[in-house]
Amino acid sequence: MHDRLNPVRRGAVLLVTGLLATLGLIATGSPASAGPIACNNMNSFTLVFRTGGDDLRGNSEVMPYLTTRFGDVELGHFNGGFGNNSTSTKVVGLANLNWTVNSCDVTGLKLRMVSHNGAFQTDDNWNMDAVTMYGYGNNGAYSYYFNASGAPLKRFTGSSQWWSMLG
């Protein structure tokens, strides 16, 4: 009896999952693979982006934040110039050098993209297919890892500037 019911239950779960995904209530794509490597105060972050079929223009700005148990911590901003179907690496610090953030308090990553349109330009769109972050403490101690990917993981637009994912 149980063996005959199980496939039906599985089908119902898949149906609900598909419905929630269609409604945008749950994230599609793979969840993040992330976590502390060691508990250290971090001050340097290497971000590696995989761009899909829509580039990040050179005059588009990206603002990264660590989400933590104590709120968001802003990192240094950078501009694009990420071509279609390319991989780009940025190294940033904390936005304020007086702040501290311990790798064991980090809960995830948040990104915002803002266009700074030139003459005759409309808002930029950017397909981010993957992001990997390596966090380092004093003396280069490798302390935090974050990775997530999708197809795209996030399509940033003028009206959809924010993305975040828990680690």
* Shortest distance in whole angstroms from residue 128 CB to Ca ion: 11
The residue whose two tokens read 């966090």 is 135
Short-list 85, 83, 81, 92, CA closest to 47:
92
The residue whose two tokens read 């079929």 is 53
CA angle 75, 76, 81 (to 5 degrees): 125
- What is the total count of residues that contact Ca ion (CB under 5 A)? 4
* Shortest distance in whole angstroms from residue 87 CB to Ca ion: 16
The nearer residue to Ca ion, 103 or 127, going by C-beta atoms, is 127
54 scored as a contact of Ca ion (CB under 5 A) = yes
Q: Which of residues 1-40 bind Ca ion (CB under 5 A)?
A: none
Q: Are 84 and 125 in contact (CB under 8 A)?
A: no
124 scored as a contact of Ca ion (CB under 5 A) = yes
Dist. CA 77–CA 47, nearest whole Å: 11
* Shortest distance in whole angstroms from residue 82 CB to Ca ion: 9
Dist. CA 48–CA 134, nearest whole Å: 9
Stretch that binds Ca ion, among 28-36, 54-62, 112-120, 156-164 (CB under 5 A): 54-62
129 scored as a contact of Ca ion (CB under 5 A) = no
* Shortest distance in whole angstroms from residue 47 CB to Ca ion: 18
Q: Which of residues 82-111 bind Ca ion (CB under 5 A)?
A: none
Dist. CA 28–CA 51, nearest whole Å: 18
Q: Please report, as ranges, the residues that interact with Ca ion according to CB under 5 A.
A: 54-55, 124-125
